[in-house]
Each structure stands twice: as structure tokens, then as C-alpha cells.
Structure 1
């Protein structure tokens, strides 16, 4: 599984690159703040919301600590998606949130 640190992803966000970041945490977790521009799709909803995820694009998966996003990466990789897990999740995210 491909992985990226929170700091590395924060640098990409700061560079203004067009990124697809998918936050798989639950609603109450996301309400406390998410990475600016991240799309919220709770892990349990991934199977029925696959059509919302562009198969031709690379996606960065995020959760609280990196476990659920790792599971999301495994699931999406099996479905043919190009994904990278953010290690340490939002616990390691030190940048702005929305």
C-alpha cells in the first residue's frame, strides 16, 4: 500500500496542487475539522458511493489515525483505484482544517 505522511500531504495542499483527498471518518469526527477541500465519504458508505470516486484520478485517503483509511485503500485498490494512505491520520495533521 502506498503511504504518505501528514506533513508531505500538507506540503502538496500548500503548493495548490489539485488533489483528491477523501476523509473516511464518521460525521461527528469530520465536524471537528477536515483537510480543506477533502471529500467526506464515511468508510461504511464507500461501497455504495464508488461512483463518486473518479477511477482515473489519484486519491489520498484520510481518517483519524490511519487504520480506517488503510482499510479504505485496500478496498479501493481491489476495485482498481489508485490510492495512497495518509499515515497517522488527522492525529498527525498540524495544518489548517475547515
Structure 2
């Protein structure tokens, strides 16, 4: 395990694990940002609506990978989801995440 993996975890392996368990990708950018380009099959739930959609998200009963433009909003979304009992991880920027999928 390299220093980077030790400090930040191996995101690619975690993404593979989540994918193998049917993870849902939630893009937390605005509707306009999402419509300008997104990961096929992802769901658009803007960050400010995550809390109000928690019941729906929990019903999926799947791990969630969050993404946004750079990884800042998706980090916040993943924290909110985890604090509500949803298995979630920050996938970072949507374009970078799409390359890892």
C-alpha cells in the first residue's frame, strides 16, 4: 500500500467494490450542470435537495457513489448520506469518475 493509498484510501478499489454491489451514482450538481454532461444512468439530486430526498435514497437499499464538478459538493453529500445511515462514498468529479467506471 503506497502513501497515497494510506492517506486517501484506494478510491478505484472502493469504486469497484461499490459497483459490484449495484451502487447508484448520484450527481449532486445543479440541473443545468447535469444536463450539460453527466454519467449515463446517474441520478441528479442537487446537493441542497439530498436531505429532503433521504427517504427515497434509503429505499434504494444500495451503496451510493456521489459526484459533482470537482468533488467538493459530492464530499458534502457523501457525509450527509453516511450520517443518515446510507453507505456512501465521494466519487469526486463526474468526468474523472466516469473514467474509473
Contact 1:3/1:86, CA 8 A, preserved across alignment: no
Q: How many residues align?
A: 89
In structure 2, the residue corresponding to 1:92 is in which secondary structure? helix
Tell me, yes or no, if structure 1 residue 68 matches structure 2 residue 73: yes
Query: Structure 2: which 5+ runs fail to align?
Result: 1-7
Structure with higher RCO (Cα < 8 A, 6+ apart): 1
C-alpha distance in structure 2 between counterparts of 1:82 and 1:43, whole Å: 17
Residue 11 (structure 2) aligns with? 4
Distance 1:3 1:79, change over 3 A: farther
Residue 47 (structure 2) aligns with? 43
Residue 86 (structure 2) aligns with? 81
Query: Structure 1: which 5+ runs fail to align?
Result: none
C-alpha distance in structure 1 between counterparts of 2:9 and 2:66, whole Å: 10
Paired residues for 1:19-58 under 5 Å: 19-54=23-58, 56-58=61-63
Distance 1:2 1:81, change over 3 A: farther
Report the RMSD for the aligned CA atoms in angstroms.
Answer: 2.9
Q: Which has the larger radius of gyration?
A: 2
Deviates more, 1:49-58 or 1:31-40: 49-58
Distance 1:3 1:29, change over 3 A: farther
